[in-house]
Structure 1
Amino acid sequence: MSARTYLLLGPETGAKEQELKDIRAQLRAEYGPEIELSRFYPFETENGEIFTALYNNSLFSDHRLVILSQAEAVSASLATSLAEYLAHPVDTATLVIISSELFISAKIMKGVSKQNTKTFYDLLENQKADWIRNHFRKMGLSIKADAVELLIELTEDNTQELRTICNQLGLFWQISDKGRPIDEDDVETYVFHSRQEDAFTLFPSIAQGDLKKSLSSLHVILGSGDSQTAILLVSGLLWQFRRLLSIQEERETGTSESEAFAKAQVQLKSCPIRKPKDKSTYHAGLQYYEADAIRRIIALLAEADIQVKESGSELATLMLERLLYRIIKGKGKAMHEASFATFG
């Protein structure tokens, strides 16, 4: 079995992203900084596009990193083709297969060594409280039980968001030099303030197809000067479009909108929509974006997620402006494919 193939499984997104970064760093150390990167989703490679990327040598780099995300959704024919590749992989490319599931097609799993197969488990509900307390303890801080419960409630089972908010809140508390434990009011005040302008407040404008308002919100968000802002923004939008896709796919089966809201999920994790304001936002998104458009946008955001992590902050504004333009006006299509009108 080749050392150039990896299988990353499980629902814990943050840890898988770090593992992917580590793999890429190893390749850069071995082959130089110009590693060619391609990311595919099963619905994008039914005609063998991923194998073209794997087999074709690049003119610009000595090695290629090819990523297949959402591998739990591969068709039987694609699984067979991947198994054939895994039996005889090329040395000039590294293939990373990613899934939020614990198991995928046996044909694929058998083709990747146990050493290069890793499973990343999400935090269980009863583990989150301990994780939060330990997280703040490591930062030299303490947090009250009611504040812990509110953090879990506000993040709505999104473990990645929970980690992000705890990191931000802890840093804020350290800088503010607070000499007392974090309580429920502190959490509510901080989260409300930090969400004044972020991916969650930007998404309603995107859902309505309002490019002008979306760009205005984007500039406010980026005005914070935080180097992590662009990364968190793209990650937040990716989470919301995955949620929107789950609803749109439910609607296509004949499910009522209210039932689809209750069944909403992100990477097979239940994320029901309960608040009237959120229902209004996602209703607008269902009207503006068809399922195929949402899939294209998810692929676009996944590419952007990698780009913003590697680009300097000076490029973030232009990159994210173009990203919003392609999402809202192009419905995820490439710039040359889309017919764009105005910024209205």
Structure 2
Amino acid sequence: MDEVKQIVTEIKNGNIKPIYFLMGEEPYYIDRISEYIDKNVLAEEEKGFNQMILYGRDVTIEDIVANAKRFPMMAERQVVIVKEAQDLSRTIEKLADYTENPQPSTVLVICYKYKKIDKRKKLYKAVNKSGVIFESKKLYENQVADWIRRVLGGAKYAIEPKAAQMLVEFLGTDLNKINNELDKLKLIIPKGEQITADQIEENIGISKEFNNFELRKAIGSRNVIKAHRIINYFAQNPKDNPLVVTISLLYSFFSQVLQYHGLSDKSQRNVAGALKINPYFVKDYTEAAHNYPMKKVSQIIAILREADLKSKGVGAANLPQGDILKELLVKVMR
């Protein structure tokens, strides 16, 4: 995120490079940088003759180079944006000759999503010398809630830790999806307010009571009744609560509980740093560690692996999701 801000700041200050090669697994930042260049490098009246959008599936490297070598008309520079450039992965190295000597009056933006170019090859070295290479890395799940807080903070909003966690568990690590939902919330909720779990439930349709976060908490606190209630809800709504996601999140939780057991310093600050969690949630791990000794946690991790195999049909062909969940819960909490 800091690197994105630096790129945008340099463009604002007039330090515009002839090439921006935007690559990597996370498309969100690639889209944001290319959109910023699209909207801000040229004045509106200059765009008709001097801004071109190309798509990787429709062009060749030769087409891109030919467009990049054109001179601007009645403007200081032109902008050429190549979207979905990963469709040119087999021939992308051919761009190296142009990037060694780029047209100074052209801003060429290559959006190379879900892939990376080889740092050892000529293209990477040439772009790195004459322009900007930005690698957009996928966030780990434990980083996304913090990302949500920072994005909302920049827009003068706050969000409850539970509300942020609900978004992560419902939407995963897809930043574009999350950002779309945040945009909806910002239309409804006045700037300066804190977004709550109730507002997430009301406006996005995520149940604040029946979700993986609450299941994890119920199991950690050995609240058998609540855990069974959530499991039954999941069994009745399997499409909205995929078994594979539930098992994955429980596996992650108990792996962290196991890690907690191994810590010599169990202060809130140290636990939050070691487990890479918000300090607000440390009490959940402390309670789970109290309720499940290290030996039991190791057994639970093995139980979760077994349930994962069953969910994929190994040793339990056609067993309903609800039955696997109920069996899992009995084994974990007994």
TM-score calculated relative to the size of structure 2: 0.46
TM-score calculated relative to the size of structure 1: 0.45
Who wins on radius of gyration, i.e. which is larger? Answer: 2
